[in-house]
Structure 1
Amino acid sequence: MTLEKQPETDIARPTGGAKLGYCRVSTGLQNTDLQLDALTAAGCWRVFTDHASGAKEDRPELQKLFAYLRPGDTLVVWRLDRLGRSLLHLIKLVNELESRGVQLESVNDRIETSTPGGKLIFHIFAAIAEFERNLIRERTAAGLTAARERGRIGGRPRAVDAAKGNYIRYLYGQGMTKKRIAEEIGVSTKTITRYFNTLEENDFDPLDDADDPAVLLPPR
């Protein structure tokens, strides 16, 4: 989520680093009071609030927050799942914050990247995420190999079969772009787009089971 920095207009902005909060609720019907109270108690000078599902890429207030952050600031969330769409997405955001000299604090999880313990936790998270991705890639490849060995009878082979579809939805749930997914699967970007269009036509949310390990096993 790399953005160009916006012109600063708030003359009352704290010097030496500010605490900026991010609050997210899934729908407009949910109440933000719990998160806002916690962020205020944590000393946040300003809070940005989105009303959107965690899976949605379009979170305008998060975009504004990232454009507003300066080196020395701290991004504060009530819980880590309020920030990232997935573990991989969260790690990506943390790495970007670190590269910009911005710390992350999670009130409920009691994690601060400014401490050695907080940094260690995210190193462990990154290792687990990479392990999970490699394991799923191996399972998917094994399923595709088994399917080819069994052979297919009649009809044109589909560019995206059940095993590939499961893997595509998983990668999408981890925050990958369609172009990156196409490179990972070995198909064209148009093929990935057609696959998602088919899901949409059938009223199927690609993120409904994207994090369920069961859908990633080779089809039997």
Structure 2
Amino acid sequence: MQTILYARVSTTDQTIAHQRTQAEAAGFKVDEVVSDEGVSGFTTTLKDRPQGRRLFDMLRRGDTLVVRWVDRLGRNYADVCDTIREMMRWGVIVRTVINNLTFDGVTKDPMQQAVRDALIGFMAATAQAQAEATKEAQRGGIDHARGREEAYRGRKPSFRRDQFDDVRGALGQGTGVSEVATATGLSRQTIYRIRDNPAEAEAALARWA
């Protein structure tokens, strides 16, 4: 029987070594570490990861699988639940470093099984909810940054530098607004803005260069 630590990191601010240190500090005697680096637990199931597949090949009845928390197995509710239940059917004990939880298939009492399965489901759902909240926050941060950029730089010009030069040249030769709009593919409103305030139009191009 062996104790295997499965570690997964998806960002550069996480490390495999830290997860092993945490496990050993909690009293686990780790025989081997299996790890996936730079892999999302939200978009990939455990069996889809290179070392995740290896983990399924290695584990045998009586072995203990240690994870920092269930989110290392994954951040997909169905995948995490299925993984832990499959391990228990094999006779593998799943333990977490955080909260020191143990999941096994030893108990035959239906009430204890119900409590155990409910806890697995709750933890798996929490892992997915945290991943979704993080992604939503990231999207919000990106949108906010874009909004700040647009507020600082103003509205992006609807014309290019070459079009601006063509408009200025044509207007300078006395060409009418409608004719210039047709020739450059710009709207009449845009031609009027360039004609009436060429300095601001040119400044906008400079800000968005």
Q: Given the two structures, how large is their TM-score scaled by the length of structure 2?
A: 0.48
Which one has a bigger Cα radius of gyration? 2
TM-score by length of 1: 0.46
Instruction: Flag the structure with higher helix content.
Output: 2
